[in-house]
Amino acid sequence: MRNLFILGTAESGKTAVAVGLALKLKDLGYKVAYFKPVANLTGAASRKDRDALLMKQVLEMQPDADEIAPYKAGPSYLSTYRHSETIEQLTATFEKVSSGADIVVIGGASDPSIMSTLGLDAITLARRLNAAALFIIKIKNDYSLDQTVFLNNQFSGQDIPVIGNIFNNVPRPLLAKTEGIYQQRLSERGYRTLGIIPARHDFAFPTVAEYFDTLGGEVLAGEDKLDRPVEDLIIGAMTIESALGYLRRSPNKAFITGGDRADLALAALETSTSVIILTGGLYPDVKVIARASEKGVPVILVHYDTYATMEKLSEVSKNIRPGDNQAINAAREIIDNHVNWQYIVDQLKK
């Protein structure tokens, strides 16, 4: 059988699809392993790849996470490049990790072009690892479909089997357009749509805990509410009059402001707010902590300025954590309900 290479851009939801498909294949009686050639550790406090740790647990794999995701890449990875990081060494590690498996689900990097400089791009890896490509699409606008067609063209043009495409975490306003236009345009180009997965509030958005993992700092209130989803970010660097309109229009938001802006923090607490993030290392007025505790809203104090805080928050995306059985079961449910998994399995048999 062929292996399955799950590809897409950052925040497309590759991990959730990988978890769901791996469990489906396992349920069908296949021995399944997971391999992520290039780990993207941007913003991670640990040097272990989160997907590798997750799949090691989900699939009960024996290899260490550093073998499951052997090469590390960040924006300046060439500065720390080791000459041992070759396609030959990667293949040897893959053979070890995949020993005894019928199918290997391969996780793509945050972009298929990453490590092209070293000949470790996704097209080269797919060919070397006997894998067929499955693209996960995060639709933001029409350019997202252009990028998808481009990637399908690139892989097909290099004789890499392309199984199809899955539209993932599609916002409700874009569902009709995805079903009626995007899917049709893909088909006209000769490419198959294998699923349209609607966005879920309990699954598509990162939680307060994921923001805290990225930022660090100190939790001043709401320690037991870190599982709240965060749908939007608002910076409080305005007058209280200007802020009120934004605060009321944005549900389940993270509100970022200086620790000395008690007026803004208190105003945010009277609207739908998932977390207050106070910047500059300035402890807030005791009224803010008291009101946040009453409302059950977490308050996180960080020592970065507002700009640095926003830079770090740009790295946050929804992640399934090891042991998060609710999210793992949701990933399985998504594949059952929204993806033509039988077609994927049939194509892997060819």
CATH number at residue 296: 3.40.1390.20
Q: Are 267 and 244 in contact (CB under 8 A)?
A: yes
* Residue 97 sits in the same domain as residue 15: yes
* Residue 99 sits in the same domain as residue 213: no
Amino acid, res. 70: P
- The total number of structural domains in the chain stands at 2
* Residue 289 sits in the same domain as residue 175: no
- Give the residue with greater pLDDT, 171 vs 94: 94
* Residue 274 sits in the same domain as residue 175: no
* Residue 288 sits in the same domain as residue 342: no
Determine the Cα–Cα distance for residues 315 and 233; give it in Å rounded to an integer: 13
* pLDDT value, residue 57: 95
Structure confidence by residue, pLDDT tens digits, 30-74:
999 999 999 865 444 456 788 999 999 999 999 999 999 999 887
Determine the Cα–Cα distance for residues 205 and 209; give it in Å rounded to an integer: 11
* Residue 333 sits in the same domain as residue 251: no
As a whole number, the mean pLDDT across the chain is: 89
* Residue 37 sits in the same domain as residue 173: yes
Q: Are 40 and 109 in contact (CB under 8 A)?
A: yes
* Residue 272 sits in the same domain as residue 172: no
Structure confidence by residue, pLDDT tens digits, 70-111:
998 877 888 877 777 899 999 999 999 999 999 999 999 988
* Residue range of the domain that includes 302: 208-313
Structure confidence by residue, pLDDT tens digits, 177-233:
999 999 999 999 999 999 999 987 666 678 898 888 888 899 999 999 988 888 888
E strand or H helix that includes residue 169: strand 162-170
* pLDDT value, residue 238: 65
Overall average pLDDT of the 148-171 stretch: 95
* pLDDT value, residue 210: 83
* Residue 77 sits in the same domain as residue 156: yes
**CATH number of the structural domain spanning residue 159:** 3.40.50.300
* Residue 45 sits in the same domain as residue 192: yes
* pLDDT value, residue 42: 43
* pLDDT value, residue 200: 73
pTM as predicted: 0.76
* Residue 234 sits in the same domain as residue 190: no
* Three-class SS of 102-120: CEEEEECCCCCCCCHHHCC
**In Å, what is the CA distance from 37 to each residue of 12, 106, 124, 267?**
18, 8, 11, 47
* Residue 52 sits in the same domain as residue 117: yes
